[in-house]
Amino acid sequence: MSAIEIQDLTKTFGTKIAVDQLSLAVPQGSVFGFLGPNGAGKTTTLRILTGLARPSAGQALIFGVDISKNLQEISRRIGYLPENPAFYGWMRAREYLNFCADLFNLSAEERNERINTLLDFVKLNDVDQQIQNYSRGMKQRLGLAQALINNSDILFLDEPTSALDPIGRKEVLDMIADLSKSKTIFFSTHILSDVERVCDRVAMLDKGRLVIESDLETLKNDYIEPVFTLEFDGSPDLFTKLLAGLIWVVDVQTHKQTIVVRTNDLGTAQRELPKLVARTSLPLRRLEVGELSLEDIFMKVLS
Ligand X SMILES: Nc1ncnc2c1ncn2[C@@H]1O[C@H](COP(=O)(O)OP(=O)(O)OP(=O)(O)O)[C@@H](O)[C@H]1O
Give the residue with the Cβ less far from other proteins, 146 or 184: 146
Q: Which does 50 bind (CB under 5 to 8 A by kind): other proteins, ligand X, Mg ion, none?
A: other proteins
39 binds, among ligand X, other proteins, Mg ion, none (CB under 5 to 8 A by kind): ligand X
52 binds other proteins per the rule CB under 8 A:
yes
Q: Which of 33, 36, 41, 51 binds other proteins (CB under 8 A)?
A: 51
Among the candidate windows 21-29, 35-43, 196-204, 241-249, which touches ligand X by CB under 6 A? 35-43
Residue 104 sits in the site that holds other proteins (CB under 8 A): yes
Span near other proteins by CB under 8 A; candidates 25-33, 59-67, 142-150, 283-291:
142-150
Whole-angstrom CA distances from 121 to 60, 144, 154 are 31, 10, 18
Instruction: Name which position in 30, 43, 150, 152 contacts ligand X (CB under 6 A).
Output: 43
- Reduced to 3 states (helix: H, G, I; strand: E, B; else coil), residue 121 is helix
CB closer to ligand X out of 123 and 207: 207
What is the spatial distance between Cα 276 and Cα 267, in angstroms, rounded to a whole number? 15
Question: Rounded to an integer, what distance in angstroms lies between the CA atom of residue 121 and that of residue 175?
Answer: 8
Q: How far is the CB of 296 from other proteins (least distance, A)?
A: 34
Q: Which residue is nearest to Mg ion (CB)?
A: 43
Q: Is 150 in the site for other proteins (CB under 8 A)?
A: yes
**Residue 87 within binding range of other proteins, rule CB under 8 A:** yes
CA distance 215 to 103: 36
- Determine, following the binding rule CB under 8 A, whether residue 136 of this chain makes contact with other proteins: no
Closer of 43 and 150 to ligand X (Cβ): 43
Q: How far apart are CA 10 and CA 76, in angstroms?
A: 25
Strand duo 57-62 + 249-255: pairing: unpaired
Among residues 42 and 169, whose Cβ is nearest to ligand X? 42
Closest CA to 206 of 300, 293, 81: 300
Nearest to 6 by CA among 20, 19, 24: 24
Nearest Cα residue to 293 out of 239, 234, 224, 243: 224
d(CA 202, CA 53): 23
With respect to other proteins, which residue has the nearer C-beta, 63 or 104? Answer: 104
The size of the interface with other proteins (CB under 8 A), counted in residues, is 29
Quick check: helix, strand or coil at residue 157? strand
Is 44 among the residues that bind ligand X (CB under 6 A)?
yes
Task: Answer yes or no whether residue 51 interacts with ligand X by CB under 6 A.
Answer: no
| Binding flag, residue 18, ligand X (CB under 6 A) | yes
Q: Which amino acid is at 64?
A: G
On whether the CB atoms of residues 78 and 94 are closer than 8 A, the answer is no
Residues ≥6 apart with Cβ < 8 Å to 218: none
3-state helix, strand, coil in the chain (%, to 5): 35, 30, 35
Does position 43 interact with Mg ion (CB under 5 A)? The reply is yes
* Cβ proximity of 138 and 165 under 8 Å: no
Enumerate binding residues for other proteins (CB under 8 A): 47, 50-54, 72, 75-76, 78-80, 82, 84-88, 90-91, 95, 99-100, 102-104, 143, 146, 150
Interface residues with Mg ion (CB under 5 A) are: 42-43
Positions that interact with ligand X (CB under 6 A): 13, 16, 18, 36, 38-44, 83, 190
